[in-house]
Amino acid sequence: MRPLAIGPVVAANPVLLAPMSGVTDVAFRRIAARLGAGLVVSEMVASRELATADDEARLRAEGDGIETHVVQLAGRDPAWMAEAARVAVGAGAAVVDINMGCPAKKVVGGHGGSALLRDLDLAVRLIEATAGAVEAPVTVKMRLGWDADSIVAPELAARAEQAGARMITVHGRTRAQFYDGQADWGAIAAVKARISVPLVANGDLVRADDAPAMLAASGADAVMIGRGAQGRAWFPGQVAAHLETGAASPAPSLEIQRALAVEHYEGVLGLYGREVGVRHARKHLGWYLEAAAETAGRQADPAAKAAALTARTAEEALDAFDRALNDLQWRAAA
């Protein structure tokens, strides 16, 4: 398993944690990096908001405690993208990623994210402006195209490299698919043929033994894990270990999973404050319970899970989480 070089920045291994809004907060990224992810990427950060010191954008871009900090920016104005990149790098970002793949209606409606797959000239201007604004390497994350009739990733990737991008990530779906169907790893291979910078394959990597097949089908240099890491901060590191040794490793014990869940939960409360943090963090408890249930081979208690997801205070949420986890442990041991 070779390390991944992004210009002068070298990732520890070729297994990356994807940027996910509402998921990859700095507390989660710290845990994933500690447990073996080769590189972890921030939530998507709106460029104008970061450039104008918006509090929410600043928190999304936080990188405290992360050795190689990567910030993903979104936007459609070259000037704001350039200024946001300067802000991010000034605050410690080692790499700046540009979002050209988010399918969300709110983002696409503002002509950002995967809307840029329909305007490649603008996409290239954004890359040129961002890469020209900072010394740190700039990377691009995209989808295959807008829909099945407009697969533009190979062309956009080639133009992105010419514009200064030092790595390309491709999610193997179109915008029209959102997250439906299966990611087409084989379709990503057409991008590899057009670029010389590293290529990262993304989409539907949910088991460690998916990674070799994903790399073989796509020809990519690395893999990126998104939803497969929700509630499983250890999973990117588990995949990296599998690629290194070929051996399967078990999920952490339920006791360790609880400790990680609580560490993450308390980290979110510390980031946003307790009142706002409870709302931000509750979905994570649901994902941690789903992961724990998979480990235990049981279903989580629906009432306790619902209580954790609807609790009004952190104490109530963690108490319900513990009840559900204890029930899983008791039934797994029975």
Q: Both 297 and 270 in a single domain? A: yes
- Which 8-state DSSP code applies to residue 72? E
pLDDT tens sequence across 127-144: 999 999 999 999 999 999
Judge whether 107 counts as a catalytic residue: no
- Alpha-helical segments (H) within 273-313: 274-296, 302-310
* Domain count within the chain: 2
Q: What is d(CA 108, CA 106) in angstroms, rounded to the nearest whole number? A: 6
Domain end position, chosen among 216, 245, 274:
245
Q: What is d(CA 22, CA 280) in angstroms, rounded to the nearest whole number? A: 7
**299, burial (CB in 10 Å: exposed 0-12, middle 13-18, buried 19+):** middle
Q: Both 77 and 12 in a single domain? A: yes
Q: Both 56 and 198 in a single domain? A: yes
Q: Both 36 and 183 in a single domain? A: yes
Domain end position, chosen among 190, 220, 245:
245
pLDDT of the residue at 277? 95
Q: Both 259 and 232 in a single domain? A: no
Q: What is d(CA 183, CA 160) in angstroms, rounded to the nearest whole number? A: 22
pLDDT of the residue at 300? 86
Q: Residue 331: which pLDDT band, with cuts at 50, 70 and 90?
A: low
Residues 143-165: what's their mean pLDDT?
Answer: 98
3-state secondary structure of 153: helix
Q: Both 40 and 117 in a single domain? A: yes
Q: Which residues contact 163 (CB under 8 A, 6 or more apart)?
A: 124, 127, 128, 131
pLDDT tens sequence across 8-37: 999 999 999 999 999 999 999 999 999 999
Instruction: Give kind and range of the element (H or E) at residue 154.
Output: helix 153-163
pLDDT tens sequence across 266-311: 999 999 999 999 999 999 999 999 999 999 998 888 888 899 999 9
User: Residue 155 pLDDT > 90, yes or no?
Assistant: yes
Q: Both 231 and 258 in a single domain? A: no
- Return the percentage of the chain with pLDDT > 90, whole number: 92
Q: Both 232 and 312 in a single domain? A: no
Q: Both 105 and 206 in a single domain? A: yes
Q: If you count DSSP H runs as helices and E runs as strands, how many of each does the chain have, helices first?
A: 14, 10
CATH number of the domain bearing residue 176: 3.20.20.70
Q: Both 101 and 203 in a single domain? A: yes
Q: Both 218 and 260 in a single domain? A: no
Containing structural domain, residue 203: 4-245
Q: What is d(CA 19, CA 95) in angstroms, rounded to the nearest whole number? A: 13
Residues 303-323: what's their mean pLDDT?
Answer: 93
3-state secondary structure 110-139: CCCHHHHHHCHHHHHHHHHHHHHHCCCCEE
- Give the active site residue among 102, 129, 134, 205: 102
pLDDT of the residue at 333? 56
Domain end position, chosen among 225, 245, 265:
245
Q: What is d(CA 330, CA 66) in angstroms, rounded to the nearest whole number? A: 36
pLDDT tens sequence across 171-213: 999 999 999 999 999 999 999 999 999 999 999 999 999 999 9
Q: Both 136 and 234 in a single domain? A: yes
Q: Residue 332: which pLDDT band, with cuts at 50, 70 and 90?
A: low
3-state secondary structure of 163: helix
| Amino acid code (one letter) for 171 | H
